[in-house]
Structure 1
Amino acid sequence: MSDLNVGKEILSYCSKCKLTLAHTIVAMKDAQTIHRVECRTCKSTHAYKDPSAVKMKASTRKKTSKKISKTTTSVADLWMEAINSATSKSQPYSIKGQFAQGDIIDHVKFGPGVVDKTIDNDKIEVIFRHQIKTLIHNK
């Protein structure tokens, strides 16, 4: 640890990338304590975070997220159910078009989706394969 100084490379947990990555030491508190580092991947500067201390927290988070995922339905499953239950033909999405609940739309960027609900006269919530989006229509 005595070889640590500004400009040296070290592993640190990057809070922006959410990974343990190579960082460059930017500032030291004293001769043995790292204060701030810069991520070599995203170039963000933050306080040094020991990767071994972060791993325990990450493994705890993973366990709780697995419990949650067992009780909730994924967006892909919701999309598949909605596509199978829809009876209308697919129509291209346009901000000028008017859509109702259960309509299948083809969006240029997000692909095929099913209108889950109408929020206002001009807003609809659409379930796409990987995400749920609020879109404007009827303009």
Structure 2
Amino acid sequence: MIRPYTDHDADAVVSIWRAASERAHPFLSIPFLDAEAENVRNIYPQFAEIWVLEDDGKPIGFIALLNAEVGAIFLQPKHHGQGHGRAMMDFAVAKRGAVTLDVFKANAIGRVFYDRYGFRQVGEYVHEASGQEMLTLAFTPA
């Protein structure tokens, strides 16, 4: 079930984000991840439309939308490969139609997922806060 985020989801969302980030982003420093975890908890919910994916009543993933941009999509690593990421992206596409997102160029896990989903690269830049190369990807439903 995908449902709207509430303030009660903050701990679960930060935990999901941290576990998935540590797996997909081993190139990011611990201080960067620590600072970003605070943003996930305190800043992003103010600006993004966040949806939580539950399994047996427990949050296992989330997706954040900023208009037609997927600002975040994260899933507990033990749930990877079960169609949950696709379900969240399908949900976003059903709500917004064409969507864009940014992904770290070194994020092999995310890039494989986005390639399989049908995203195409439309830009590239350097993420100032981390110094990492980023790709901007776009998806347009058929």
Q: Normalising by structure 1, report the TM-score.
A: 0.22
Instruction: Report the structure, 1 or 2, having the larger strand content.
Output: 1
- Structure number with higher relative contact order (C-alpha < 8 Å, ≥ 6 residues apart): 2
Instruction: Report the structure, 1 or 2, having the larger helix content.
Output: 2
Q: Normalising by structure 2, report the TM-score.
A: 0.21
Larger radius of gyration: 1
